[in-house]
A = this chain, B = another copy of it.
Amino acid sequence: MMTKPTEGVISVAQANAAKMADRNTSFVFDEWYVAALASEVGRSLLSRTLLGRRIVLYRTQAGTVVALDDRCIHRSYPLSAGTLENDTIVCGYHGFRYGAEGDLVEIPSQDRCPRGLGVHRYPVREIGPMIWIYMGEASAPRTEPPIEAVLNLSKWEYSEGYLPLRGNYVSLHENLLDLTHLSYIHAKSFGTPDYARAPFEVEIEEGCYALKRSVVPTTLPPVWAVPTGISSPSAARIATSTFVSPGLHVVEVTFYDSALPEEERTRFTIRTLHLPTPESHDSTHYFIVHCRDFALENQEITKFMHDQLFSAFREDVEALELLEGVLRCADADFFEISIASDRPSVEMRKYLKRRAGATLGT
């Protein structure tokens, strides 16, 4: 009857959890995150809360993306409710005007506009379909968005999308880092029963955590079987999930037919960039770029895969929202037990906790 773990087991689990990031942990500001799809930002004012801060985004007439604090320094009216005039924002309350650098350049009710006032302008980078933002305290970011290291867009065919997630971003990273869940959450979409039991290897180094599963032989679900043409039960599916940064998680999967001799195998690779940007402690902007190295320029296959994949990613969103409902009610007795395949995940959460507590640049 009393099958709860012993107090000893629970207290060890709780001591470990104290070192791991969870939904209550401070955000890691000194990093790059995706602020928006490039297609979302144009010549109107876009308001978005990122890492708990309200940001207004727009493009200058020259096309440069601008990201400013979305709060007039006068009486706190959201700048996004104002108007974009040329490259300036005019506050919709008393007409304070801000240049694209964030500087206050005009106060209509008086001749003189004091200098040295304005709102913070955040460094941004537009890379392919994504706008990245740096919200750290540093006067300039020490790094560039991590995407360059993992993606040379020109060699891939890709499509992108966005899912709002009513859950915390730590749980999303953890979800991505152990794809065991494909057999359960995605049982009706791209998961197969053998996924959970497939052998795995882990890679752990400071700031980079990976888990690789080799599902061989297996039968591919339609989302992969159709575009690769591998419909036999001898398919190989080699999947690696890698936490690259708090704002980027890469899942790469290679498919081939294991029944063929090594030298005759055609390899198909897909690489999905999962780009979680915390909105608040219980909501996340979940951006996704899905890339493949085959069937290039085939729009029909792009559409087929996009629809199937986003439908599956919505299953993650639903599951994470259910999970958030439990985590929200966690009390002092709360504990979680980790297993072997959680190692990268546990280390990743410890890293996020250290980063959250770290001072600038360390």
Contact = CB atoms under 8 A, between A and B. Distances in A.
Contacts of A200: 109
A5 to B, nearest CB: 5
Please indicate which of the listed interface residues A6, A93, A120, A329 has the most CB atoms of chain B within 10 Å of its own CB.
A93
Given A5-B117, A77-B326, A119-B3, A181 B93 contact: yes
A1 B99 CA distance: 11
Nearest to A104: B3
A40 B174 CA distance: 35
A319 interface: yes
A350 to B, nearest CB: 16
A180 interface: yes
A139 B322 contact: no
Given A78-B326, A341-B109, A5 B73 contact: yes
Oligomer: number of copies: 3
B5 A196 contact: no
Contacts of A327: 76
Please indicate which of the listed interface residues A76, A91, A120, A342 has the most CB atoms of chain B within 10 Å of its own CB.
A76
Contacts of A3: 101-104, 117-121
A18 interface: no
Interface string A57-99: 0000000000001010111111001100000001111110000
Interface stretch (A157-165, A238-246, A255-263, A332-340): A332-340
A72 B104 CA distance: 53
A27 to B, nearest CB: 13
B139 A336 contact: no
Interface in A308-342: 319, 322-323, 325-327, 329-330, 334-342
Given A5-B118, A117-B9, A119-B3, A336 B92 contact: no
A118 B337 CA distance: 10
B181 A94 contact: yes
A183 interface: yes
A116 B108 CA distance: 61
The 8 closest A-B pairs by CB, nearest first: A3-B118, A3-B102, A108-B196, A109-B341, A94-B180, A3-B103, A109-B180, A73-B337
Interface of A: 1-6, 9, 54, 69, 71, 73-78, 81-82, 90-95, 101-104, 107-110, 116-121, 123, 139-140, 174, 178, 180-181, 183-185, 196-197, 200, 319, 322-323, 325-327, 329-330, 334-342
Given A3-B117, A3-B119, A9-B116, 20 more contacts: A2-B121, A3-B101, A9-B117, A71-B326, A73-B337, A74-B338, A74-B339, A75-B174, A77-B319, A77-B326, A81-B319, A90-B184, A93-B181, A93-B185, A93-B319, A95-B180, A108-B183, A108-B197, A109-B178, A109-B341
17 contacts: A2-B139, A3-B117, A5-B116, A6-B116, A71-B326, A74-B338, A77-B319, A77-B322, A81-B319, A82-B184, A92-B184, A93-B319, A93-B323, A95-B196, A108-B196, A109-B200, A109-B339
